[in-house]
Amino acid sequence: MTENWQLHVDAGQENDPVFVGVGEIPTGKFPDRSFIEGLTSVAVMALRDAGMVPRDIDTILLIPCLHSGADQADLVFSRMAEELGIHGSCKSSFMVHSGGSTSDNAVRAAHGLIATGHAKNVLVLQCERWGSADLNEMITMLSKNGIPGEWELPTGIQFNAIGAMIMRRYMHASGSTAEELASVCVTLRKWANLNENAMFYTKPLTVEQILASRMVADPLHSFECPPMADGACAFVMTSAGVAKKRGISSGVRVAGSGGCVSHYCLSQESDQAVLGWPLAAERAWNQSGWGPKDADIGEIYDSYAAVTAIALEGIGVAEKGEGARWFAAGHGDPGGKLPMNTNGGLLSAGHTGVGGGTALLVEGIRQLLHRAPAKRQVEGCERAIIGGTGGSYMDAQILLLERTKLGA
């Protein structure tokens, strides 16, 4: 916990939005677990964690899936309201989509609805079946979606190639070694080994194993690529006033929010070793009134190691050029000075498509509510940095969250 800082933050006005519950099921390959089963399971878990039942929810906000157009259509057309038995009482069910940064923008949407009185209790749902989907279809999708058809698709660019290009540029700009970047993956695996819901819960990983794995797109090895997985998670937001009336004594509030959309075509990004993080961070820190040294944990999008190292520098956690070496020094490990991606991240908990960022957000909320399993709970966790990015790292989105007192 930040020195000399106690849980004294008041949520403020009665309509100030707060997170009060989360739900999650194991991530991996579960071919017998249906899409709707996953969504319904995490909905019930999040509601129970918040001390609510389905009828308390008046708004459902959906995180999209990428494995199936038909399943996506079911979400768009409000199937979950009926599955939860709240058709008729539910005021609104709709979807937000910005790729890997969707969860950040979903929070902003839910926050606005609650703060303005358009919603009372918002349930945000996500489920993905990347691990059980047809592999060829997923490879085709990841080789085309979000890749500019006129300029980049004809050259053979796809997401592992994009990850490799950013990694190469970052290595050149920072002087980071392959070993130092591999250490990012090792840190995340240490956290996954503490998370029973993680895809690689029982599988340790070393730098040597990573560098001995198959080269996918130089300098990117196969163990540095995110594994496609099935997974689902959810969270509940309400107002401080409603939470108090329900006897909830503490929640999690948004202290600051900042974003920067920097490009669509990766070739139009002026510096792939920087991306949009510095501007997004400046906007978020200016709102919050606190800085990177005040944070207790970070939950930063990690589809590739270099993406997270770059983000840490832009956010101000690590010095310029030191992001990978920050990980190599063990600063993000369990017991480190800023525990990072405490669920194992996309690289070790599993990449659940758009939901990878949602899982990191849910983990941050869980840590701030002090409801993580004891072996993974960061002691005295009061403030968190949440970071997401979508597409070919087209944007940088930051939420600064803090634990807040709601009542006596």
Q: For 78-130, what is each residue's pLDDT tens digit?
A: 999 999 999 999 999 999 999 999 999 999 999 999 999 999 999 999 999 99
52-76 average pLDDT score = 97
32 lies in some domain: yes
What's the pLDDT score for residue 11? 66
291 lies in some domain: no
What's the pLDDT score for residue 151? 85
CATH of the domain at 64: 3.40.47.10
Q: Would you list the DSSP string of 212-232?
A: HSPEEETTEEGGGSPPB-EEE
Instruction: Kindly tell me if the per-residue pLDDT of 297 is higher than 70.
Output: yes
Distance separating alpha carbons of residues 381 and 376, to the nearest angstrom = 11
Give per-residue pLDDT as tens, 338-382. Answer: 999 999 999 999 999 999 999 999 999 999 999 999 999 999 999
Cα-flanking dihedrals φ and ψ of residue 212, to 5°?
-90, -10
Say whether the peptide bond before residue 227 is cis (omega within 30 degrees of 0).
Answer: no
63 lies in some domain: yes
Q: Report the first-to-last Cα separation within the chain, whole angstroms.
A: 21
262 neighbors 276 (Cβ within 8 angstroms) = yes
- Per the structure, the count of domains in the chain is 1
What's the pLDDT score for residue 19? 98
* Cα 120 to the center of its chain, rounded Å: 24
- 216 C-beta neighbours (distance < 10 Å), count: 16
178 lies in some domain: no
Distance separating alpha carbons of residues 330 and 318, to the nearest angstrom = 13
Paired residues of 128 in beta bridges: 231
pLDDT grade for 6, boundaries at 50, 70 and 90:
very low
Distance separating alpha carbons of residues 2 and 297, to the nearest angstrom = 10
H helix or E strand, kind and range, residue 364 = helix 355-368
Strand ranges in 30-147 using DSSP code E only, listed in sequence order = 59-62, 92-95, 122-129
Closest to 333 in 3D by CA, of 371, 359, 297: 297
375 lies in some domain: no
pLDDT grade for 144, boundaries at 50, 70 and 90:
confident
Instruction: Kindly tell me if the per-residue pLDDT of 5 is higher than 80.
Output: no
107 neighbors 399 (Cβ within 8 angstroms) = yes
187-199 average pLDDT score = 98
Distance separating alpha carbons of residues 360 and 191, to the nearest angstrom = 12
What's the pLDDT score for residue 132? 95
237-259 average pLDDT score = 96
What's the pLDDT score for residue 9? 58
112 lies in some domain: yes
Cα-flanking dihedrals φ and ψ of residue 240, to 5°?
-60, -40
Q: What is the pTM for the complete model shown? A: 0.96
30 lies in some domain: yes
107-121, 135-149, 211-225 — which is least confidently predicted?
135-149
Instruction: Kindly tell me if the per-residue pLDDT of 307 is higher than 80.
Output: yes
Structural domain boundaries enclosing 233: 17-133+229-245
148 lies in some domain: no
